[in-house]
Structure formats: structure tokens, C-alpha cells
């Protein structure tokens, strides 16, 4: 097959780790882990597990929907290739992961722990408030003391359990001699509880266990909302590393771990298998799918002296490759390192709440300390001074500040989810609001990544019948698209004989005594056209060129127009040939574009933009985009993207249309404005409440109620985002 342009998707996704059959037979470990990027619901889980468990030799199969992985226990003769082909037959894309390279990712233990603590705090708060009603209603002396002690028995264990996230964070900050928002929070909870115990022991009229529990409950609610906005399950660099082939087949037939290979060794790469090393082809002819690393989805010919890289997919014939780099020295592993570095750099971004906390925490402590010292000097009453100091700490407790960001983020995330976008990062909206430049990948992002026949009407029914018959003998993307287009035209294929695939060239057979070939122009002696094409030659007739073009993704032109309207600079970066990139750029309205870019080139281009002060949004879908996605100020991937690209992205586009991207930027700007408004609400509340507390007019309970009121105000302001 031949073409002047390349497209990026998916022989690698489906065939990626396929056909390592011989290699797997000699490996004792029968645990197989498959990535399932296409599953999305309970029905998918059931269908995959049912298919796997019904396969002879499989002893157990479990699917994790969160991680989109299947863990399979099987007899040694069951190979990953066999299971991948099985799942392909039932409609699920799968590829093998190296379980040893993946960290022990926890599903969501922290989220469940926060939810449990929130539930316990809420239950205890309601019970203590019921007891407080009796005290407020006039219970005195022994009855009042009994209710206070019962409240203490409920509140103290609850605080010790539920407030642990704040205590742990505060202690971690104090150990390194710094302050964070959890320091005043922890101090307020501890002092409110401690003061209440002291009042109870002294048969005092007031105890503030309900205030301490209310404080804990509201703050845990904010913390849980914040956690719910974070759904990054694992590092994209880790995911990339897991895609490296764990074993290789030596030319002698021996299967070894890739780590045991040395430069100069010879390995055999079977048809359908991923190349395990960087190297040079010594023997054999085939076609290589390079979409994993470069975005070129149309395969390229591979023969003696052709350089190949780890992660590429061998499609047709067996190859013998001399190793030039293996393991950590391969191009795929270098890409993983590049992603890891980019992720680390982007994680230095500080949220607005963190910036506010740096100023807020020391001010709160100074106010409380001043209140205690001032009232102790004025009254000489330690008990009164401590009560007022506790009230100041509670009334200034950054509950509204703690809710300001997660309440807005949750409201914005809900709105964008309904529009077809999933927010994964806690700071994604803040960063998205700052974007001034949008960079798109081409294949699989602006386009569907599937070649479509454009000149069907140029051929007779007989030519199309022959083309359909011979194309059916090839797994090449252009051949498959040709078959689909002819089938859609209701044209039946003819009967061919002696059908065989010639690795690196195309397919040939015989029809009515004539030789028939479908494949590359040079193989058929045809004059190559300037667009993506495959060629048909029947007997001595002139070769026919079937031309293909990639179709635009839904909403591609619309989103570019909307971004221009928002005064954003739009750039197209692709690993494809210049002709194909220029064509797509013209069709969607992008003036700035660059072609034939490797993964490192894309990341470097974004780094140049960042150095020039640009805030870049990167939109991409492939492994070749992961480094660029990680290094951008903020990133978006379609749901159809390869799993590693989705993992590294801040936002996932759930639908097929790109149109919601422009809305997401508008919502992000509005969300940032709401966050700043919430900070203003919190500041105004403090300007009013702090003088009241400092003057001694607020008990700790009244302070807790006032604090709750500010939190509700912040939440109501955040809900304005849900309106279009």
C-alpha cells in the first residue's frame, strides 16, 4: 500500500501487542494484563469477563472499569495474542500491558476514607445537636452535665477519627516549620473540643462539641468535593512504560526478557507483534505501523537496512532485527521519561486557594493570639480570654475559603460533564481560563483517523468487484476502507484464486486467468498520485488509483472558528506529511501548522511557546502526543484516545464532537471569576465577623453558626455556574 499522507489511529491500538504467541509459550508467568481503552460500563465488564472466562485455558478473569484493565490467570499455553484476538471478535480493543512495570495503583481508597469520615462526622453532629437542644431548652446542673458528658463521649472519638486529614496535614506542615490552611483548622477544632471538655469538667453552662463537629463536617465536605475533582488514577509515564514489550524472541528461537538483550543481538519480530527494541532490519520484508510514536498511521515499508523503534507494530511479514537499543535506552522509554519530566514541571502550578492560604493562615493565628493576650490583660480571666480566642479561631476558620474552589470546580465540572467533558485535575479550570494558544494534533483529533475513499464513482462495477475481492485479503487500513466503501455501494466481490499477501508491497491473486495486484505504486509500475492512494492492476490494464482522504471530526471547523472568535491563536502540529497537514489546516481554518513532527518535537514546540509567555492548551489523542499533553499548560484528549494520552490529560472529551472545547474555555473563565468572588465573600464575612469575635460578642457556638453561613453563601454563588 502507498500514500503521500499518513493517518494516526489504530492498527497499533488493536494489533499493538498481538501475535507474541511463540514468545509467550516459553514464559512461566501465566498472569496476563490487558488494557481495555474502549470499555465504559457494567455491560462491557460483563461481556469481556464472559468472553475471557469461556476461553479454554483461562482460569480467572476480572475487569477493573476504573483502570480499564483486565487481569487474567491462564494456563501457560494461553497467549496474550489469543486473548486480544478473542476480544477483538466480540468488539473490544485490547492490548497487553507489562504488569511488572505498573505501580500498585489504589482504586480510590482516599476518596472512600474521606466519605467515611464525612458520614461519621455528620451522624455525630446531628446526635450532639439533639442533645444540645435539651441544654438550650433549659436543662440545668446534673441533667445539663450529663448531656455534656454524653456529647463528649460522642464528639471526642468522632473528632479523633474524622478530623485526621486536617491533623495529619497540619502536623506535616509544622514539622518543616511552615503554615498551611490545615493548621488554623486543626487548632480551631482541637481548642473547641478542649474548651468544651474543660467547661464540662467545671459544670459550665456552655460546651461547644456541636461547634467542633460542625466545623469538622463542613470542612470534610469541602475536602471531599475537592477530591472528587481529581480522577487521575496513575502517571501517564508509568502507563507508557507498561506498554513496552516485556519479552522478545531471539533469532535462534529462544524467548528472553527484553532486559537481557544487548546491542548487536538479533531478534525476530513476528507479524502483528510490537517491535521490542530499537534496531535495524537485517532480513525480511513487511510494513510497519508507526502511529504509536509519530502519528503516521499509514504503514511504511520495512526491508533490509530500515530502522525500526520499540513500540512500532509489524503488520505483515516476519523481520529479523539487529538491536541498537533495548530497555531503558529505547525511544519509547525516552518518551516516558519526557512525559514524567513534563508532568513534574506542570505539577508546580499553585492553585488560587493555596496562594490565599499562605497569607490567610498566619493572619488567623496572630488575631487569635492577640485576642487571647488582650482579653487576658484586660480581664485577668484565662477562661474568658480562651473562649474569645477560640471564637476568633472558629469564626475566622477558612471553611468558606476551603469551599471556595471545590464548590466552584464541582459546579463547573457538572456543567461541562453535561456538555460532554470530564474534568480530571483540581487546577485544570484555573489553567484553562488562562489559555491564549490552542495546539491541535491532526489525526484522531481534528480528523477521525480513518481513510475514506473519495473517487468511488470513477470506476466501473467490474473494477470495484475485483478491488473488493483482492482488498479483502489484506489487513492494511486502506484495503479495509476500500472493502467497506465498495460493500456500502452494494457491489459484490468476484471470486479470486491464489490470493496471497506480499509483505511490504500489497496483495496479489488471479482472476479469469489474469494476475491481479493491489498495493504500492512502485510494485505495480504505476505513477504515484499526490494524495493518499492504493493502486489496482488487472492483467495488462493500466493501474487504477483509489484515492483516500481523512474525514474531519465532528465540530472541528466549528471549534476553530469559535476559538478565533475568542481571540485565541490556533496551531496544528502533526507527524503527518506536509500535504496532508496543509489540507486539513485549510479545511478547518488554521493558518499556523507544522508537519512531520516527532513526539519530542511537539513537546519542544510547546516549550518554546511557553518560554515566550504563551499559555498553551494542547488537544491530542495518541502516544505520540503524550509528552506534548504533559508539557502544555493544560491538555484535553478525546475519549477515543489511547489510554496513556487520556491519563496525562487534564480534561477528557467524552463525545465525538470537538465543539465543547470552546465552551469549556468560557466556563473556565467564569469559574475563575466565581472563585475570586467567593474569596471576596469570605473576606467580607471576616471583615464583619472578626471585630464581633474580638469584642467578645460571639461564643464559639455562634462563631460556628456564622462560619456555616459563610460556607452556604459560597456554595450558592458557585451554583450560579450551572446556569447557561
**Residue located via cell numbers 496572630:** 366
Of 200, 221, 196, nearest in space to 211 by CA: 196
Within 10 A of 153 (CB to CB), how many other CB atoms are there?
Answer: 12
Within 10 A of 404 (CB to CB), how many other CB atoms are there?
Answer: 30
Cβ atoms 194, 98 nearer than 8 A: no
Cβ atoms 626, 648 nearer than 8 A: yes
Grid coordinates representing 367 are: 488575631
Contacts of 334 (CB under 8 A, 6+ apart): 600
Cβ atoms 311, 274 nearer than 8 A: yes
Q: Residue 670 and residue 252: Cα distance in Å, rounded?
A: 63
Can you list the alpha helix ranges (DSSP code H) found in 308-351? 331-346
Within 10 A of 565 (CB to CB), how many other CB atoms are there?
Answer: 9
**Residue located via cell numbers 481548642:** 191
Cβ atoms 144, 135 nearer than 8 A: yes
Q: What is the CA radius of gyration of the chain?
A: 32
Q: What's the sign of the alpha-carbon dihedral 329, 331, 336, 338?
A: positive
Within 10 A of 333 (CB to CB), how many other CB atoms are there?
Answer: 20
**Residue located via cell numbers 436543662:** 139
In the chain, count H helices and then E strands. 25, 26
Q: Residue 16 and residue 18: Cα distance in Å, rounded?
A: 6
| DSSP summary character for residue 607 | H
Residue 600 to residues 299, 446, 532, 572, 596: CA-CA distances in angstroms?
Answer: 21, 20, 26, 15, 12
Hey, which residues are catalytic here?
441
Q: Residue 67 and residue 39: Cα distance in Å, rounded?
A: 10
| DSSP summary character for residue 400 | H
In three-state form (DSSP H/G/I as H, E/B as E, the rest C), the secondary structure along 441-496 is CHHHHHEEEEEEECCHHHCCHHHHHHHHHHHCCCCCHHHHHHHHHHHHCCCCCCCC
Classify each residue of 515-526 as buried b or exposed e, where b means 16 or more C-beta atoms within 10 Å of its C-beta. Answer: ebbbbbbebbeb
Within 10 A of 344 (CB to CB), how many other CB atoms are there?
Answer: 12
Grid coordinates representing 368 are: 487569635
| DSSP summary character for residue 668 | H
Amino acid at each position: 500500500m502507498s500514500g503521500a499522507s499518513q493517518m494516526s489511529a489504530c492498527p497499533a491500538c488493536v494489533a499493538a501487542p498481538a501475535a507474541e504467541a511463540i514468545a509467550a509459550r516459553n514464559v512461566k508467568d501465566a498472569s496476563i494484563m490487558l488494557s481495555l481503552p474502549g470499555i465504559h460500563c457494567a455491560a462491557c465488564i460483563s461481556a469481556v469477563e464472559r468472553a475471557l472466562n469461556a476461553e479454554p485455558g483461562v482460569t480467572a478473569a476480572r475487569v477493573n472499569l476504573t483502570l480499564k484493565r483486565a487481569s487474567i490467570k491462564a494456563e501457560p499455553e494461553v497467549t496474550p495474542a489469543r486473548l486480544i484476538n478473542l476480544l477483538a471478535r466480540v468488539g473490544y480493543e485490547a492490548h497487553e500491558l507489562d504488569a511488572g512495570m505498573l505501580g500498585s495503583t489504589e482504586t480510590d481508597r482516599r476518596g472512600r476514607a474521606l466519605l467515611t469520615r464525612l458520614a461519621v462526622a455528620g451522624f455525630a453532629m446531628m446526635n450532639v445537636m439533639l442533645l444540645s437542644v435539651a441544654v438550650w431548652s433549659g436543662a440545668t446542673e446534673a441533667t445539663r452535665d450529663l448531656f455534656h458528658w454524653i456529647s463528649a463521649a460522642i464528639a471526642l472519638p468522632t473528632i479523633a477519627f474524622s478530623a485526621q486529614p486536617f491533623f495529619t496535614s497540619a502536623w506535616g506542615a509544622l514539622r518543616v516549620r511552615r503554615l498551611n490552611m490545615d493548621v488554623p483548622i486543626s487548632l480551631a477544632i482541637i481548642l473547641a473540643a478542649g474548651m468544651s471538655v474543660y467547661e464540662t469538667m467545671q459544670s459550665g453552662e456552655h460546651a461547644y462539641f456541636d461547634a467542633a463537629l460542625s466545623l469538622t463536617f463542613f470542612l470534610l465536605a469541602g475536602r471531599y468535593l475537592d477530591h472528587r475533582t481529581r480522577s487521575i488514577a496513575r502517571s501517564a509515564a508509568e502507563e507508557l512504560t507498561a506498554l513496552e514489550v516485556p519479552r522478545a524472541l531471539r533469532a535462534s528461537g529462544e524467548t528472553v526478557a527484553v532486559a537481557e538483550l544487548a546491542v548487536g543481538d538479533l531478534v525476530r519480530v513476528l507479524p502483528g507483534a510490537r517491535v521490542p527494541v530499537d534496531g535495524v532490519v537485517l532480513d525480511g520484508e513487511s510494513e510497519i505501523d508507526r502511529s504509536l510514536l509519530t502519528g503516521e498511521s499509514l504503514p511504511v515499508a520495512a526491508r533490509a537496512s530500515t530502522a525500526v523503534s520499540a513500540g512500532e507494530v509489524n503488520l505483515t511479514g516476519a523481520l529479523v532485527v539487529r538491536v541498537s537499543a533495548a530497555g531503558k535506552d529505547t525511544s519509547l522509554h525516552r518518551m516516558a521519561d519526557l512525559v514524567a519530566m513534563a508532568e513534574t514541571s506542570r505539577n508546580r502550578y499553585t492553585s488560587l486557594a493555596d496562594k490565599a492560604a499562605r497569607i490567610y493562615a498566619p493572619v488567623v493565628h496572630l488575631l487569635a493570639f492577640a485576642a487571647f493576650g488582650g482579653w487576658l490583660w484586660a480581664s485577668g480571666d484565662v477562661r474568658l480570654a480562651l473562649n474569645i480566642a477560640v471564637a476568633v479561631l472558629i469564626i475566622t476558620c477558612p471553611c468558606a475559603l476551603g469551599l471556595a474552589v471545590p464548590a466552584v470546580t464541582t459546579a463547573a465540572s457538572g456543567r461541562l460533564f453535561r456538555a460532554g467533558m470530564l474534568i480530571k485535575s483540581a487546577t485544570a479550570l484555573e489553567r484553562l481560563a488562562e489559555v491564549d494558544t490552542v495546539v491541535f494534533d491532526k489525526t484522531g483529533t481534528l480528523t477521525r483517523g480513518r481513510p475514506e475513499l473519495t473517487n468511488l464513482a470513477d470506476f466501473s462495477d467490474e473494477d470495484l468487484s475485483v478491488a473488493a475481492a483482492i482488498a479483502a485479503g489484506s489487513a492494511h487500513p486502506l484495503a479495509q476502507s476500500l472493502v467497506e466503501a465498495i460493500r456500502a455501494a452494494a457491489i459484490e466481490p468476484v471470486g479470486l484464486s491464489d490470493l496471497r499477501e506480499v509483505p511490504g508491497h500489497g496483495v496479489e491473486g488471479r482472476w479469469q486467468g489474469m494476475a491481479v495486484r493491489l498495493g504500492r505504486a512502485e510494485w505495480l509500475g504505476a505513477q504515484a498520485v499526490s494524495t493518499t492512494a492504493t493502486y489496482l492492476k488487472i492483467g495488462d490494464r493500466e493501474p487504477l488509483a483509489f484515492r483516500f482522504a481523512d474525514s474531519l471530526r465532528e465540530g472541528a471547523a466549528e471549534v476553530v472558528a469559535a476559538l478565533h472568535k475568542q481571540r485565541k491563536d490556533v496551531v496544528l502540529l502533526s507527524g503527518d506529511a506536509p500535504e496532508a497537514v496543509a489540507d486539513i489546516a485549510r479545511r478547518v481554518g488554521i493558518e499556523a501548522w507544522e508537519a512531520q513532527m516527532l513526539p519530542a518535537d511537539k513537546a519542544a514546540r510547546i516549550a518554546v511557546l511557553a518560554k515566550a509567555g504563551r499559555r498553551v492548551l494542547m488537544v491530542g489523542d495518541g502516544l505520540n502526543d503524550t509528552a506534548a499533553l504533559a508539557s502544555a499548560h493544560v491538555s484535553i484528549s478525546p475519549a477515543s484516545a489511547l489510554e496513556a494520552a487520556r491519563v496525562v490529560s487534564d480534561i477528557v472529551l467524552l463525545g465525538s464532537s470537538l465543539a465543547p472545547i470552546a465552551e469549556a474555555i468560557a466556563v473556565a473563565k467564569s469559574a475563575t471569576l466565581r472563585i475570586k468572588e467567593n474569596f471576596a465573600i469570605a473576606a467580607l464575612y471576616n471583615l464583619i465577623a472578626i471585630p464581633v469575635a474580638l469584642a467578645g460578642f460571639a461564643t464559639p457556638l455562634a462563631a460556628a453558626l456564622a462560619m456555616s453561613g459563610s460556607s452556604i453563601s459560597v456554595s450558592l454563588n458557585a451554583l450560579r455556574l450551572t446556569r447557561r
